[in-house]
Amino acid sequence: MNDLNKKITFHVNDIKVEVSADEADTALVDYLNDDLSLTGTKFCCGIGECKACSVMTSTSKHGVKNKTLACLTPVSFMNEMHVYTVESLSENGKPNDLQAAFLKHFSFQCGYCTSGFLMSTTVLIERLKQNPVSQSNLDKMIDQYVGDNICRCTGYVRYLDAIREIAKPYTLEHIS
């Protein structure tokens, strides 16, 4: 069988997709935006510095979640993976708790980078659910997972306030 006839199969927001092998080098952000019309994942710097293109990935639906930069990741790397975009966060068409916290704290201005912040924070929350940390280490964890996301409009204080609010219940002091 010719390699060009092979399909790259993965899940996007729990929906199975197949991509022909001739699109293997397509950047994931382009595939999500152009082929699936999932435009929440943003192309910004194109070199992985700003993190606006962050999506959440996993080797299985319930596996460990990781942050993946969709501008640097070719579709071929997603074979047999699960990809979650910002569109997966809403619940019955309404903002989830994280999105609501971002709105409550007026965390963004233009909003271009917001999906990257949301997805990076979602990975953080998934990790905290598995391995809670003490509240005194929460800011260190936030910095590890979200600290390299860039916003050109705001200071980061409002983002941090929203993230702390959502992450606090997953600290050791609140779980015990």
Fold of 97-175: DNA polymerase; domain 1 (1.10.150)
DSSP string, 48-91: SSS-TTEEEEESSTTS--EEEETTT-BGGGGTT-EEE-GGGS-B
Domain spans of the chain, in order of start: 3-88, 97-175
Order of all β-strands in the sheet with 82-84: 15-20, 7-12, 82-84, 54-58, 66-69
In the block, residue with structure tokens 């999105």: 99
- The total of other beta-carbon atoms located within 10 Å of residue 130's CB is 10
For the chain, 176 residues long, give each residue's pLDDT as a single digit of tens. 455 578 999 999 999 999 999 999 999 999 999 999 999 999 999 999 999 999 999 999 999 999 999 999 999 999 999 999 999 999 999 999 999 999 999 998 888 999 999 999 999 999 999 999 999 999 999 999 999 999 988 778 999 999 999 999 999 998 86
Residue 175's pLDDT is what? Answer: 83
CB 109, CB 154: distance < 8 Å: yes
**170 and 132 Cβ atoms separated by less than 8 Å:** yes
* Locus of tokens 């979602």: 122
* Second CATH level (architecture) for the domain 3-88: Roll (3.10)
Same fold, 3-88 and 97-175: no
Per-residue pLDDT at 152: 86
* Residues shown for the chain: 176
